[in-house]
Structure 1
Amino acid sequence: MTVTITKNAAAKLNKIIGDQKGYLKIQNVTEGLACGAGVPTLFFVSSIDETKVVLFETNNLPVVLEKSELIFFDDELKIDYSDSMNSFQLKSPQQIINGRMSFII
């Protein structure tokens, strides 16, 4: 699996995060959902449990995904930012996985 961050997303992330050290984490949030499938959400976390996640080096910040959730994502992921929607997006070559992805610090 590969994860890339577009220039637009990197600029927005760096503006929000500033000098803080940490990782981006993509996680399926299931709380409050009846279907249980989950909504991909972007988090900024200061530490990780290396036994439970897989670390992906990117062209910007490192990104982690829970090992148990890898099956839900395509082999190529791209984190983008849409100025017109004022929102992060998670994409793959096959689909837009989440066109309005929340970012939680």
Structure 2
Amino acid sequence: MQVEITERAVEELQMRKILKEGSVLFISHETEGLGCVVNGVSDLVAVQKSSLPPTAVFLDTKPESWSVAIDKKVDWIYDESLKIDFNDTASSFQLKSPNQMLNPRMTLREEAEV
């Protein structure tokens, strides 16, 4: 699985200064109260690499200077190719694939653990 972070998303991530040394962007898939795993909502979480769940896998990320991970238990929900972008109008990140918009208003939060 691969993920591209657009130039605009990189600019926004750098401006927010949420990622510290050793941090990873984790694509979280929240399903609480939604019934089925495929109805979950994706968010971006900045976490320390050591706080990733044991089932996390790293994605082939472009640009390579960024690290993005996802939980192996839910990676089957996503297309093989993903894109993280930033929408200035909505002031939010977006998760897309070539076939669909997965989350047009994805939040970015910082957590000690996921």
Same fold (TM over 0.5): yes
Mapped to 2, the partners of 1:47 and 1:3 lie a distance apart of: 18
Mapped to 2, the partners of 1:4 and 1:14 lie a distance apart of: 16
Structure 1 unmatched ranges of 5 or more: none
Determine the structure 1 residue equivalent to 2:89.
84
Is 1:102 paired with 2:107? yes
Distance of aligned partners of 1:43 and 1:18 in 2 relative to their CA distance in 1, 3 Å threshold? closer
Mapped to 2, the partners of 1:85 and 1:92 lie a distance apart of: 19
Distance of aligned partners of 1:86 and 1:94 in 2 relative to their CA distance in 1, 3 Å threshold? same
- Aligned counterpart in structure 2 of residue 52 of structure 1, from 52, 55, 65: 55
* 8 Å contact from structure 2 (residues 3, 82) kept in 1: yes
Mapped to 2, the partners of 1:79 and 1:19 lie a distance apart of: 15
Determine the structure 2 residue equivalent to 1:23.
24
Mapped to 1, the partners of 2:16 and 2:85 lie a distance apart of: 15
Question: After alignment, is 56-65 or 92-101 more displaced?
Answer: 56-65
Instruction: Please tell me the root mean square deviation across aligned C-alpha atoms, in Å.
Output: 1.8
Q: Percent identity?
A: 36
Structure 2 unmatched ranges of 5 or more: none
Question: After alignment, is 2-11 or 54-63 more displaced?
Answer: 54-63
TM-score computed with the length of structure 2 as normaliser = 0.82
Distance of aligned partners of 1:12 and 1:57 in 2 relative to their CA distance in 1, 3 Å threshold? same
1:17 shift after superposition:
2.5
TM-score computed with the length of structure 1 as normaliser = 0.89
Is 1:62 paired with 2:67? yes
Question: After alignment, is 87-96 or 14-23 more displaced?
Answer: 14-23
